[in-house]
């Protein structure tokens, strides 16, 4: 009975000291696709990642802080701009850029530790994918995908800045359309993300 009372008292103490922050966040990403298991043909020999492109993100966050630990949930829209380079077997045909851009809504759940004004964080990201901007994914764009983020951040009064790395834990597409033909490939995305946030209350 004493242990139960002690545990309940400890829970009340921690609950009283917890702090909930809610605010807005937005930023830019450097995005590029990760392509594996591309099925070449007599026409196209390979599909490789092109240079990183600038994407953007915007949404809101809620952070529950307990002493130096915190849990941060976010909900934001992102436009993923990215492309790949298709190489042709014919020597007189130059490589072609293949647009792989699409939109998605993301729900990260990040666990973190505050070290003074600096924060470290990481956790899974659940994404709902839609709007095949490129037209090169057709029905092969997966409805949902899973990835992870790790990063560092710093706070300045009501403002914060985060620098994160994101990579897929699964594919968001298993085929791509090139020259009106469907080619099998396992495609995911990696990003370097710069995010600014404003605490509202």
Q: 8 in a domain, yes or no?
A: no
Q: 187 in a domain, yes or no?
A: yes
Q: 2 in a domain, yes or no?
A: no
Q: 4 in a domain, yes or no?
A: no
pLDDT tier for residue 55 given thresholds of 50, 70 and 90:
very high
CATH code for the domain in which residue 183 is found: 2.40.160.20
Angle at 44 between CA 39 and CA 47, to 5 degrees: 65
**Residue 7 reports pLDDT greater than 50:** no
Per the structure, the complete domain to which residue 132 belongs is given by: 19-199
- State the pLDDT at residue 16: 47
Compute the average pLDDT of residues 98-108.
Answer: 96
Q: 1 in a domain, yes or no?
A: no
Note the Cα 1 to chain centre separation in Å: 47
Q: 175 in a domain, yes or no?
A: yes
* All residues at 6 or more sequence positions from 129 whose CB lies less than 8 Å from its CB, including other chains: 102, 103, 104, 141, 142, 143, 144, 145, 172
Q: 11 in a domain, yes or no?
A: no
Compute the average pLDDT of residues 93-106.
Answer: 96
As to burial, measured by CB atoms within 10 angstroms (0-12 exposed, 13-18 middle, 19+ buried), residue 34 is middle
Compute the average pLDDT of residues 68-96.
Answer: 95
Number of domains in the chain: 1
pLDDT tier for residue 77 given thresholds of 50, 70 and 90:
very high
CA neighbor of 52 nearest in space, from 151, 178, 192, 194: 192
Considering the chain, what percentage of its residues have pLDDT values greater than 70?
Answer: 92
**Residue 15 reports pLDDT greater than 90:** no
CA distance 155 to 196: 10
Distance (Å) of CA 143 to CA 60, 74, 96, 172, 173: 22, 19, 27, 8, 9
Encoded tokens for 76: 């934001």
Mean pLDDT of the chain: 91
**Residue 14 reports pLDDT greater than 50:** no
Compute the average pLDDT of residues 115-123.
Answer: 95
Q: 84 in a domain, yes or no?
A: yes
Q: How many CB atoms lie within 10 A of CB 130?
A: 11
């Amino acid at each position: 009975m004493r242990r139960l009372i002690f545990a309940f008292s400890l829970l009340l103490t921690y609950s009283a000291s917890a702090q909930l922050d809610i605010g807005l966040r937005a930023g830019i990403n450097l995005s590029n696709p990760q392509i594996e298991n591309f099925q070449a043909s007599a026409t196209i020999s390979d599909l490789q990642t092109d240079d990183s492109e600038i994407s953007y993100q915007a949404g809101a966050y809620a952070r529950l802080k307990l002493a130096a630990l915190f849990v941060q949930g976010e909900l934001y829209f992102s436009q993923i701009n990215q492309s790949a380079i298709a190489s042709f077997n014919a020597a007189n045909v130059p490589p072609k850029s293949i647009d792989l851009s699409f939109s998605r809504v993301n729900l990260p759940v990040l666990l973190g530790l505050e070290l003074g004004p600096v924060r470290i964080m990481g956790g899974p990201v659940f994404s709902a994918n839609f709007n095949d901007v490129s037209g090169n994914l057709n029905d092969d764009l997966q409805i949902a995908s899973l990835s992870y983020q790790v990063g560092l951040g710093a706070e300045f009064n009501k403002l914060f800045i985060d620098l994160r790395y994101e990579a897929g834990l699964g594919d968001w597409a298993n085929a791509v359309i090139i020259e009106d033909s469907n080619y099998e490939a396992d495609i995911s995305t990696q990003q370097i993300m710069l995010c600014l946030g404003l605490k509202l209350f």
